[in-house]
Structure 1
Amino acid sequence: MVLPATSTLCNVFTFLLAGSPIFYSAAPRGSCANCCGIREREDIKFMLYTRRNRHTAQLLHLNDDGRLAQSNFNFNYPLAIYLHGFSESATGERQSSQELKDAFLRRGNHNVILIDWSAMTAVPWYSNSVENLPITARYIARFLRYLVGRGYSAKHIHLIGFSLGAEVAGFAGKQLQEWGIKLPRITALDPALPLFEGNSSNRRLSPSDARFVDVIHTDGGILGNPTAMGHADFYPNGGRPLQPGCARQEIANNRWLGILIGCSHQRAWEYFVESIAQPRGFPAKRCEPSVTFGVCRDGGNGLAFMGMGADPRLRGKFYLETNGAKPFGRNSRSQAIVSLAPQLPIAYKLPPIASRPTVQSQSQSPSVNQYGPAGQDPLQEEDENNSIDSSSLT
């Protein structure tokens, strides 16, 4: 593990944020969670959720065929894989991971894998977390290569990351391409700014990391990086603090520091989570930036949608305004879930050494779309008789 001297900037950054709303107790403060050697299997956990185990995670491990076969992972369903930010955990209530997981499972049949790397992102070890991004990313890339090697189509992997997690997603995308695998989509939610400023030697997320890289900027210049780094970069409310409603929200919760630090940053994942159910809830216009950050030179043109509904053909910078409270999206009339993902079947395959009693019934489906076999109501997908006991894999 790399142990650089913590800079003065990082010390100040950590001290200020210790009381902000984004700094949850991922590990005991002052602990040595990030001072010791990395144990990849213990420190980077792959937590699987499906509509059969919405509330209890099934742990998957790299190269563990038996565990994969016994889990509820379904080779017919798309995969959303998510990386939380600094100081968070994948299991924290009302944090980004659980909110995103719940939104995807309400949307339809998905494999949702939350990556819990909280042991490596605990307060106050921010600079160490940054130094260890490549290690984390390589392990995640190995896990995704393992799934692809067992028959899962890379075309249906959507890698999503918030803050530091967004940078890890970029590293993972680069690594996978070295192995001949290019992800179809990476969504970066307010990529982290501290220690990534200007000409930082830390590699950053870039459009080359996936076939489509979309970025949501909400806290530009504070915790979020305002630099355009995707095929499509969205700047809600100018992409900078204060995002609408943050002052009122933080004052109501007696979190005064959160007005300036935290609330605007987490708006990125809040907007995206809302867009999972409302793909057309955040209409945006293409923006030719002026010299003033976040202001369009020509007023904007060309309709697009931020978040889940972003068209992979989009290119450029996009500007939009949001509401100050839920629902955040200005276009709240779109109630139906509209999938813009390719409707391609995925052959049902299992590891060659494993078996599963439910394979026959699932493999008989004539066609598969975003939500499972054709004509099947997503809300009726759960079959208690065929469900795997989640407790056996935790």
Structure 2
Amino acid sequence: MVSGYVVLQMYSFIDFSQLPYQSASGSPIFYSPTPRGYCSNCCEINERDDIKFMLYTRDNPFKTQYLYLSDERRLRKSNFNFNYPLAIYLHGFSESATGEKQSSQELKDAFLKRGNYNVILIDWSAMTAVPWYTNAVDNMNVVARYVARFIRFLVMQGYPVQRVHLIGFSLGAEVAGFIGKQLQEWGINLKRITGLDPALPLFDDNSSNRRLKPSDAYFVDVIHTDGGILGNPEAMGHVDFYPNGGHALQPGCARQEIANNRWLGILVGCSHQRAWEYFIESIRYPLAFEANRCEPSKLFGICQHDGNGKAYMGMGADRRLRGKYFLDTNDETPYGRNALGRVLKLSSAVLIALPLKYSSNVTTTTTTATGDATQVTDTLIDVISTITAATRQRQKQQPQEREQRKDLTEWYDSHGYNDYGVAWNSLVSISKTHVKMET
């Protein structure tokens, strides 16, 4: 598996201000020429302006109503209904809560189609802009405390905390855990937190005081889709789901990104974003993702089903679930193999398995494809070569961004993840002998 360091190296030095890069969902990547925070070269954070609470209900499914901390008058004049459940969503790095094809907007639409909900989208895009990842991590506690204060404000106004469902994607999932911890200091315990592929870079066992963990709410469920690259593969909740093994490439990603000419998305976006895509589908179809509790074999991601402990991933997850669950998905929507009461035939994407940890050897895997898998692999290598050349040029021009790369490099090296050279050599070493075509 390509190491997260390789991805973030490419991600950090591409000039997003000049190129029309898109995420795997087709949404624009949010870019800023300067970071937000409290560093010497940072723009100062203004919590009221930089952390927005965007309310949607069935009475205003498209028109945003902005709520503010401690503003009781605005809350009472809004469409916020104290009798409806509340879903709060925190987007990830490089995202925004506004605009089409954003995870925030799609999740909001799914909840409002499901029923009467209050949906509050947290827009903290000013602090999650590319390429300032380390600054975004540093800003987590500011965002978490401010959102926690807002939830406490709602509770003080009479809203039942047991109706709050906090959901976070990537870095937003880690912030959600921090929010749960902060609320507990005030005697408030959230009913449920859902983590969608919680972020890996700069998070490890030693940072458990800020990363998502089971004690952050009465029930914490986690979906892993990009383990070892941008997502953390470790179990972090009461129940952890690993669709298709929980790692890249998720089914359909290579074909989807190549078809849309989004080459960077093959490595950076698609598998990571599958987490929120799966969850959103589960809002509409709670029984779509049937999973089995079992332990993976020595080959990472292959599950030996024991036939017991069936459960459902996503919105329909049972609060009594504990442990790790595994399942397969379709490679296109509907992703759930029980969605719409039918199972769609899988047409597998090209899977490239590279070393994840503590190894410089190439890990091979049986790969199935509906097209020329070797050609796809060769094309990937060409694309990465082009991106690498661009990042090296970018590195010479941006000393601040180079410091971001240095911080991430030191973290990956200190935790045993592959450095750039190992992952690159592993990718180049893939040949036709590693690809088995299945018709």
Sort the TM-score into its range (normalised by shorter chain). 0.7 to 0.9
| Aligned residue in 2 for 1:50 | 57
- Contact 1:87–1:122 (CA under 8 A) maintained in structure 2: yes
| Aligned residue in 2 for 1:215 | 222
Gaps of 5+ in 1: 1-6, 336-394
Evaluate the alpha carbon distance shift between residue 107 and residue 228 of structure 1 in structure 2; reply closer, same or farther with a 3 A threshold: same
Evaluate the alpha carbon distance shift between residue 206 and residue 275 of structure 1 in structure 2; reply closer, same or farther with a 3 A threshold: same
- Contact 1:190–1:217 (CA under 8 A) maintained in structure 2: yes
For 1:176-215, what aligned pairs fall within 5 Å after superposition? 176-197=183-204, 199-200=206-207, 203-215=210-222
Moved more, 154-163 or 28-37: 28-37
| Aligned residue in 2 for 1:147 | 154
| Aligned residue in 2 for 1:81 | 88
Shift of 1:203: 2.5
1:165 and 1:147 mapped to 2: Cα distance? 20
Shift of 1:291: 3.3
SS in 2 for 1:234: strand
- Please tell me whether residue 295 in structure 1 is matched to residue 298 in structure 2: no
- Contact 1:232–1:314 (CA under 8 A) maintained in structure 2: yes
Identity %: 69
- Contact 2:293–2:305 (CA under 8 A) maintained in structure 1: no
Shift of 1:197: 4.0
Shift of 1:36: 1.7
2:22 and 2:29 mapped to 1: Cα distance? 14
Compute the RMSD of aligned alpha carbons. 2.2
1:201 and 1:282 mapped to 2: Cα distance? 29
Q: TM-score, normalised by structure 2?
A: 0.71
- Contact 2:61–2:112 (CA under 8 A) maintained in structure 1: yes
What code does the residue aligned with 2:13 have?
F
Equivalent in 25, 29, 33 of residue 30 of structure 1: 33
For 1:273-292, what aligned pairs fall within 5 Å after superposition? 273-292=280-299
1:41 and 1:174 mapped to 2: Cα distance? 22
1:202 and 1:177 mapped to 2: Cα distance? 13
For 1:110-149, what aligned pairs fall within 5 Å after superposition? 110-149=117-156
2:92 and 2:150 mapped to 1: Cα distance? 20
- Contact 2:240–2:325 (CA under 8 A) maintained in structure 1: yes
Moved more, 111-120 or 281-290: 281-290
Shift of 1:237: 0.3
Equivalent in 17, 20, 23 of residue 21 of structure 1: 23
| Aligned residue in 2 for 1:267 | 274
| Aligned residue in 1 for 2:255 | 248
SS in 2 for 1:102: helix
Shift of 1:26: 5.9
Gaps of 5+ in 2: 343-439
| Aligned residue in 1 for 2:172 | 165
Deviations 1:352-386 (A, max 9, x none): xxxxxxxxxxxxxxxxxxxxxxxxxxxxxxxxxxx
Evaluate the alpha carbon distance shift between residue 16 and residue 230 of structure 1 in structure 2; reply closer, same or farther with a 3 A threshold: farther
What code does the residue aligned with 2:297 have?
S
Shift of 1:333: 3.5
1:41 and 1:50 mapped to 2: Cα distance? 22
Evaluate the alpha carbon distance shift between residue 156 and residue 242 of structure 1 in structure 2; reply closer, same or farther with a 3 A threshold: same
2:6 and 2:250 mapped to 1: Cα distance? 28
SS in 2 for 1:208: helix
1:270 and 1:126 mapped to 2: Cα distance? 23
| Aligned residue in 2 for 1:325 | 332
SS in 2 for 1:235: strand
2:134 and 2:6 mapped to 1: Cα distance? 11
What code does the residue aligned with 2:188 have?
I
2:15 and 2:162 mapped to 1: Cα distance? 38
Deviations 1:125-178 (A, max 9, x none): 100000111111010000000000000000100000000000000000000011
More helix by share: 2
Q: TM-score, normalised by structure 1?
A: 0.79
More strand by share: 1
| Aligned residue in 1 for 2:68 | 61
Shift of 1:255: 1.3
Deviations 1:335-366 (A, max 9, x none): 9xxxxxxxxxxxxxxxxxxxxxxxxxxxxxxx
Deviations 1:232-266 (A, max 9, x none): 10000000011011011001001122112210000
Evaluate the alpha carbon distance shift between residue 201 and residue 279 of structure 1 in structure 2; reply closer, same or farther with a 3 A threshold: closer
